[in-house]
């Protein structure tokens, strides 16, 4: 897979973004849940990074994949739970594997690729930030990321911590749970909804079946329904307004592994 950057004046990417993506992709390439960097050309007008081929492509905004003729394949719950667990493992590695914590800052479905075995691969390090050794919080930095996935606390303080990624992952997990994009129009009332508020409202009303897309609910076992309930509760914890109430990614990864094997 080839990733080409436009770095002319006024375009989306800056030269620093390209090198950030290159350096961190290379560093993470030994881990199974990151998209492996194979090569690069950084001296051309349009820098290019070459990654491993992900046979099943990239997730779309609803946590599905596109196939021939741009038709969407709706992924079953078991695959979605596997993806959630593996991306949690990737973020745990980012946060804990090195003396300096790396914060992804742009966790979302369109940065997740799937190989031939449906193994999830996290990518997209252009906006990532590495904290000084021994520090768990950044200095004031510009607020970047994708609307709907950005931690509200980060918006207020302009400072990132590992909990910044935890919040974004919680939103990502809700997208996997519901099969809905982060923002959507509710067919029942025509209002624009955010997936976090939507899932929280249904959870509090004990209407979990309405959280999931009808395609997922149709063939679910009772055990899978318990998995969904546990995942919804975990995703909502990740999206707590106060960061100290959120779990760390290593706790999230362990909980998702427990959920996967317990039901």
> What tokens appear for 159 in the block?
């400072």
Q: Is 106 a catalytic residue?
A: yes
For residue 103, the cross-strand partners are: 129
Residue with structure tokens 């997740």? 112
Q: What angle do CA 78, 106, 73 make, to 5 degrees?
A: 35
DSSP-derived 3-state class of residue 197: helix
How many CB atoms sit inside 10 A of residue 8's CB? 10
Q: What Å distances lie between residue 31 and 38, 41, 104, 149, 205, CA to CA?
A: 14, 23, 15, 24, 40
Residue with structure tokens 């899932």? 199
Per annotation, catalytic residue among 17, 21, 106, 165 = 106
In the chain, beta strands by DSSP E = 2-4, 37-41, 48-51, 65-66, 72-73, 102-103, 112-114, 120-122, 129-130, 183-185, 192-194
Active site residues: 106
């Amino acid at each position: 897979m080839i990733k080409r950057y436009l770095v002319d004046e006024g375009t989306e990417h800056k030269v620093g973004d390209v090198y950030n993506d290159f350096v961190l992709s290379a560093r993470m390439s030994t881990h199974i849940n990151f998209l492996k960097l194979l090569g690069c050309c950084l001296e051309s007008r349009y820098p290019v990074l070459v990654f491993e081929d992900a046979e099943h492509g990239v997730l779309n905004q609803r946590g599905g994949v596109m196939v021939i003729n741009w038709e969407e394949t709706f992924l079953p719950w078991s695959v979605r739970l596997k993806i959630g667990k593996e991306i949690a493992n990737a973020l745990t590695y980012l946060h804990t594997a090195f003396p300096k914590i790396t914060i992804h800052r742009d966790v979302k479905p369109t940065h997740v690729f799937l190989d031939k075995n449906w193994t999830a691969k996290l990518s997209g390090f252009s906006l990532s930030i590495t904290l000084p050794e021994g520090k768990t919080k950044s200095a004031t930095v510009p607020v970047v990321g994708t609307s709907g996935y950005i931690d509200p606390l980060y918006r207020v303080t302009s400072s990132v911590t590992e909990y910044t990624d935890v919040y974004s992952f919680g939103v990502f997990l809700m997208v996997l749970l519901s099969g809905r994009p982060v923002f959507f129009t509710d067919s029942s009332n025509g209002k624009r909804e955010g997936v976090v508020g939507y899932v929280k409202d249904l959870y509090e009303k004990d209407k979990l079946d309405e959280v999931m897309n009808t395609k997922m609910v149709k063939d679910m076992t009772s055990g899978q329904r318990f998995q969904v309930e546990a995942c919804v509760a975990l995703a909502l914890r990740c999206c707590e307004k106060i960061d100290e109430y959120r779990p760390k990614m290593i706790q999230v990864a362990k909980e998702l592994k427990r959920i996967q094997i317990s039901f």
